[in-house]
Amino acid sequence: MLWVVDVTYVATWSGFAYVAFVTDVHSRRIVGWNVAATLRADILPLRALDMAAWNAGGDLSGLTHHSDHGSNYMSLVYTDRIIELGAKPSTGTVGDSYDNALAEAIDALYKTELIRRRGPWRTVEQVELATLEWVWWWNNQRLHGELDMRTPAEVEAAYYAGLETPETATAALGKH
């Protein structure tokens, strides 16, 4: 079990909207997210993490939580919460361009598929509502090439039905 996280930003007429995503690497499902007018660790990424933890039943034992070296992810309030939930915090090497590539790719797709298409954005709240819709679409309707043209919801359903293992999905990535 591996989650990757990252923060991106969206310019609005009323200031910046900051967006944090928590993504399950196996299914590519966005399991937690938050939009806020601040980068504060106790607000932006922590609320996304808490949403993801709530969706997972609150016990993250056996999970590796991977982030870059951003200050909000390295803060005590955030790392303490990861440990409290039973997960293992992980970061890559500083300056490694591949460190958090999956999380950064999701940020780029979010901006391409939603932000640039539907902007300009007036308020943080407008970005938040649009992000809610996009995350639902991403998880339930968007076909992912990395998942053999399936949705994250389909991959998770196959996994929980015992038809697929994380290793099967990873092996499928190598055949393209």
The parent domain of residue 96 ranges over: 2-174
Residue type for position 166: P
Taking only the tens place, the pLDDT of each residue in 17-28 is: 999 999 999 999
Write 42-48 long-range contacts (CB < 8 A, 24+): 42/75, 42/77, 42/78, 44/7, 44/18, 44/20, 44/72, 45/5, 45/7, 45/20, 45/72, 45/73, 45/78, 46/77, 46/78, 46/81, 47/20, 48/5, 48/20, 48/21, 48/22
Q: Which CATH number does the domain housing residue 108 bear?
A: 3.30.420.10
What residues contact residue 28 under an 8 Å CB cut-off, 6+ apart? 144, 146, 147, 152, 155
Residue 125 CB partners (closer than 8 Å, separation 6+): none
DSSP-based three-state secondary structure for 6: strand
In one-letter notation, the amino acid at residue 74 is M
pLDDT bucket at 132, cuts 50 / 70 / 90: very high
User: What is the tens place of the pLDDT at every residue in 96-118?
Assistant: 656 689 999 999 999 999 999 99
Q: Which residues pair with 16 in a beta bridge?
A: 11
Compute the average pLDDT of residues 77-85.
Answer: 96
How confident is the model over 144-160, as pLDDT tens digits? Answer: 999 999 999 999 999 98
Overall domain count for the chain = 1
